[in-house]
Structure 1
Amino acid sequence: MSALSILFLASCSVWLSEAQTEFKRVAEENVTLPCHHRLGLLEQGSLDIEWLLHISETVQKAVITYSGGRVYDDLNEEQKGRVSFTSNFLAGDASLQIISLQSSDAGKYICKVKNAGQYEWARITLKVVEKPSKPKCWLEGELLEGKELSLQCRSASGTAPISYRWQRINEEDERAEHLPPTSRVNISNPGQVLLKNLTQMSTGLYQCIATNEAGQESCVVQVTVQHAQNIGMIAGAVCGVVVGLSLLFLVVRLTIRRKEKKRYEEEEAPNEIREDAEAPKAHLVKPSSSSSGSRSSRSGSSSTRSTANSASRSQRTLSTEATPHLTPPQYSQRETEGKEIESKKVDYANLMKMGATLVMVPAQSRAFQTV
């Protein structure tokens, strides 16, 4: 170093160099903020470099620094891993590189370089603009001939101002076309277009383009105008189908219920007990007096055995005729024998009550029988 240079540096206690510029970048892009100095020629051990971001007049935060021979690039959580020195900052290029820009990176940056009691700095304003987000397109109104239809378009985010433009797209070659002559653009809300007096010519594909200084995005919507008569026919057909299905369902339900009722009646009929049914009546037949007289007149000429047999048959005849319509229940053999004994006792008692006379026929020898 020449003596002249040393004298020049010694005579200047502070050498100040300030440059202020403005950068505008789109979000997600990269940017390099320049900062050049000439203090590296002095004592390298005492060189300090610091990048600061002014958020407001009173608030600022460190972005990246070099001090004591070490780089600190993790001072800001939002920019951690996205900031770095671009070149040889010790030789005089302390420019700052920021990758994947975000809207929060916008602001005023200050580069401060200090060495051996001397300072240099640079001021840079960074603007980060965002493209409009993909807009949303929708329709408001009736898609019928003669009606009015409103086309709506809006982006949820993006750097203002955002402009909107509607155009018609030819579906065959995707070529942009003008809107129908009856369309009107809302001046206070450019994202709205009114289509008046709709016709079949209004049917087609419509595109909305949202644009700002960072770029543009678009969306499309299909418009299909229908005849009012066709709408009535479709509505009538739908109503007819609904009514027909309802009637069919009702008929099927009634048929099922009728079958279930019939099956229920058939199952319950054998189990019904008729309380008004009358039990069959028993008829008693009294023996005629002529029959008794004839048997008595012939008793003298019959044997003792035949008289006993006749009386036994008379008792069985009265017992059978007393209950001609009753069907005897089924019992076990022991119960049946007991009932037969009781029946004989009852028959004998009945005969006595009806006036029957017990006749004792004396035994006769064969010598007195009439030949």
Structure 2
Amino acid sequence: MAGLPGPFLCGALLGFACLSAPGLAVEVKVPAEPLSAPVGHTAELTCSYSTSVGDNFALEWSFVQPGKPISESHPILYFTSGHLYPTGSKAERASLLQNPPTGGVATLKLTKVRASDTGTYLCQVNNPPDFYTNGLGLINLTVLVPPSRPLCSQSGRTSVGGSAALKCTSSEGAPKPVYNWVHLGSSPTPPPGSAVQDEVSGQLILTNLSMSSSGTYRCVATNQMGSASCELTLTVTDSSSGRVAGTLIGVLLGILLLSVAVFCLLRFQKERRKKPKETYGGNDLRVDAVAPGISEQTSLPADASTGLLERSPSASTVTTTKSRLPMLV
């Protein structure tokens, strides 16, 4: 009896293990390397799994934008109970190559891919009561887009001896384009030591500018899908000639102001000479006044005779007579 507990215990444990043994493990496999597809083409994202497909089998494809956590993923399609349910903004372009996906492969087909399709795709299999070892697979997809036409701009002091910064940026392009500046004309590239360019940011720094730095500069944005370019014209000015021009303009402006002043003064004097003489009052001395001792008889006009008849005789004529008194010796 002493040896019974050992075999009994082993049998009990074996029976318990058999009753509680779980189903097959769910394991999802996806490509380890990131995928890429040219814009406008079709992308196929392979997902395979191992499990015993039952009535509770469910498959889900979802998508998350670059830089965001998996918890913010959005569903693309969902398969359960023998039916496929596309959903979300990619529903019209998303499908499964194997439908129903019950044979261990569930490859996602995405047509007419766009730049916004770049991101991480999640293939998840759920099949209770099978337990999970790796029921989730992640695939990174990059949609290849040629560079858009870049925008060229400049800043800085574009005079002799100064510095200028030329900037070139494309709003679209995957992978991220690289930028290269060239100086068109007799000197295809800027003189050594006077220019530094960054192919990643698209910036060209020109220092110690000279008159030969003037001209047309072209920026070319390039990636594996193509290239695009823009141009700008840089004009370097001579500050000394600018000062001479400013002085000349100042002198001409001064002469103009002086001429206007002289013209106004001459016009004022001319208008002053044209003014009529002032009329003198009764108390002022008249030039035609009669001096004392001179006899003068003033006759009124003939048409005023009627008025004279009505006046006193002494008022009809005015006579000034020099005194004729006899002189006494």
TM-score of the pair, normalised by structure 1 = 0.51
Tell whether 2:166 aligns with 1:152.
yes
Q: CA deviation at 1:72?
A: 5.1
How has the CA–CA distance of structure 1 residues 257 and 62 changed in structure 2, closer, same or farther, with 3 Å as cutoff? farther
Tell whether 2:323 aligns with 1:347.
no
What is residue 251 of structure 2 aligned with on the other side? 243
Structure 1 residues 38-97: Cα deviation after superposition (integer angstroms, max 9, x where no partner): 99xx99x9986532224414333222345678765453xxx3576422656347765231
Query: Is contact 1:135–1:210 with CA below 8 Å preserved after alignment?
Result: no
The amino acid that maps onto 2:152 is: K
What is residue 50 of structure 1 aligned with on the other side? 60
How has the CA–CA distance of structure 1 residues 94 and 250 changed in structure 2, closer, same or farther, with 3 Å as cutoff? same
What is residue 138 of structure 1 aligned with on the other side? 154
Secondary structure of the 2:280 match is coil
Q: CA deviation at 1:18?
A: 1.8
Question: Which residues in structure 2 correspond to 1:1-371 (within 5 Å)?
Answer: 16=26, 18-21=28-31, 22-25=33-36, 28-35=39-46, 50-54=60-64, 55-65=68-78, 73-75=86-88, 79=89, 83-85=93-95, 89-90=99-100, 95-97=108-110, 99-103=112-116, 105-110=118-123, 112=125, 123-127=138-142, 134-138=150-154, 140-144=156-160, 147=161, 149-155=163-169, 163-170=178-185, 177-185=188-196, 191-196=203-208, 198=210, 200=212, 202=213, 204-210=215-221, 217-223=228-234, 232=240, 235-237=243-245, 239-241=247-249, 243-248=251-256, 250-252=258-260, 254-255=262-263, 258-259=266-267, 262-263=270-271, 266=274, 268-269=275-276, 272-275=278-281, 277-278=284-285, 321=297, 323=298, 336=304, 339-347=307-315
Q: CA deviation at 1:104?
A: 7.0
Secondary structure of the 1:58 match is helix
CA RMSD of superposed structures (Å): 5.4
The amino acid that maps onto 1:19 is: K
Structure 2 distance, partners of 1:254, 1:63, is 87
Query: Is contact 1:168–1:179 with CA below 8 Å preserved after alignment?
Result: yes
Secondary structure of the 1:180 match is coil
TM-score of the pair, normalised by structure 2 = 0.56
Q: Which has the higher helix share?
A: 1
Query: Is contact 1:49–1:94 with CA below 8 Å preserved after alignment?
Result: no
Query: Is contact 1:35–1:122 with CA below 8 Å preserved after alignment?
Result: no
Query: Is contact 1:198–1:225 with CA below 8 Å preserved after alignment?
Result: yes
Query: Is contact 1:26–1:130 with CA below 8 Å preserved after alignment?
Result: no
Structure 2 distance, partners of 1:247, 1:27, is 70
Secondary structure of the 1:258 match is helix
Query: Is contact 2:164–2:207 with CA below 8 Å preserved after alignment?
Result: yes
How has the CA–CA distance of structure 1 residues 348 and 139 changed in structure 2, closer, same or farther, with 3 Å as cutoff? closer
Secondary structure of the 1:181 match is coil
Structure 1 distance, partners of 2:25, 2:226, is 43
Query: Is contact 1:73–1:81 with CA below 8 Å preserved after alignment?
Result: yes
How has the CA–CA distance of structure 1 residues 225 and 346 changed in structure 2, closer, same or farther, with 3 Å as cutoff? same
Structure 2 unaligned residues grouped into runs of 5+: 1-21, 320-329
Query: Identity over aligned residues, as a percent?
Result: 16
Structure 2 distance, partners of 1:350, 1:265, is 40
Structure 1 distance, partners of 2:123, 2:229, is 38
Structure 2 distance, partners of 1:346, 1:66, is 145
Structure 1 residues 285-336: Cα deviation after superposition (integer angstroms, max 9, x where no partner): 99xxxxxxxxxxxxxxxxxxxxxxxxxxxxxxx9x82x46xx77x9xx8xx5
The amino acid that maps onto 2:191 is: P
Secondary structure of the 2:259 match is helix
Q: Structure 1 stretch 176-185 or stretch 53-62: which is displaced more?
A: 176-185
What is residue 363 of structure 1 aligned with on the other side? none
Structure whose alpha-carbon radius of gyration is higher? 1
Query: Is contact 2:163–2:208 with CA below 8 Å preserved after alignment?
Result: yes
The amino acid that maps onto 1:343 is: R
The amino acid that maps onto 1:152 is: L
Query: Is contact 2:122–2:136 with CA below 8 Å preserved after alignment?
Result: no
